[in-house]
Amino acid sequence: MKKNIIEEYINIITKIQREKVSKTPSGKNFRKSISQKYKLSKLIDWDHYLSVIYLLEDTELAKKNFYDFGISGPTKYDEMGEKYLRLYGILNAISLQKEAILKLIEIFKINNLKKLSKELSALKIIIFRNIAASHTVNYNSNDGVKSYMLSRITIDKEKIDFLDEKNQTYHINIINEIENFNDIIIQLLESITEKIINTVYSTEKERKSKYLADLSELRDVRDGKLIISGDIKVSFK
């Protein structure tokens, strides 16, 4: 688990945000002024940016709870309904976080938005979310529309089983696949954070150097070298 790394990137972004907001006069021209500092194309982009940051914080809290308590949760009861709620919840938190990251990439004009969107959508955890928590009875695959069902007895196991309408069984280790998702999100957040720093501190050399140093320190504590593959192949076998 890349513990706290995603949260640390969010913290740098929000620290910059608080600093810039505090130095921007309030009033009817606030959105225009803050948008200019962030070099946003449209005033509405500031509102979208705030929504995205809140969503990243909220979804990371959901992921942290899942890391701590898993599918079974902190309850002392072995309650199947709660397990389904927690599974649906974590899968949709992952999907929401994916959309939040893509929105930041769009707002700050990071290159290759379509390519990155396609690669994120090809991850096992996103495909499993669509199968298990969104389009279970009408999943549109390369083989046409398919239906799936989860194996109830494996919901809180290391590997979750799910079956298609022909009773072919597939498996997913949800923790491992969330970690694979995190690896990519961390790399994207680094690019986004660096773009924000270079943008809002383009004329403030000292502050820019300070935040780039913070980013460098965070890079040093990451676990391993994170690379997005340009050719992600998915198999649940």
pLDDT digits (tens, 9 = 90+) for 3-13: 589 999 999 99
pLDDT level of residue 125 (50, 70, 90 thresholds): very high
CB 2 within 8 A of CB 183: yes
Greater confidence, 204 or 228? 204
Percentages helix, strand, coil for the chain, rounded to the nearest 5?
Answer: 60, 10, 30
* Higher pLDDT, residue 205 or 227: 205
Given this model, what pLDDT does residue 3 score? 54
Lowest mean pLDDT among 125-139, 179-193, 208-222: 208-222
The answer to whether residues 147 and 165 touch, using CB atoms and an 8 Å cutoff, is yes
Average pLDDT, the chain: 91
Q: Give residue-wise pLDDT tens across range 24-72.
A: 999 989 999 999 999 999 999 999 999 999 999 999 999 999 999 999 9
Which tops the pLDDT comparison, 3 or 85? 85
Per residue in 131-169, pLDDT (tens digit) is: 999 999 999 988 889 999 999 999 999 899 999 999 999
Tokens of 179: 């970690």
pLDDT exceeds cutoff 80 at 235: no
The 3-state DSSP class for residue 150 equals strand
Task: Look at residue 84 and tell me whether its pLDDT is greater than 60.
Answer: yes
Question: pTM higher than 0.85 for the full model?
Answer: yes
Q: Note the pLDDT of residue 233.
A: 43
Q: Is the pLDDT of residue 229 over 50?
A: no
The DSSP H or E segment spanning 10 is helix 5-22
- Structure tokens, 108: 């700050």
**232 has pLDDT over 70:** no
**CA-CA distance, 181 to 144, in Å (whole number)?**
26
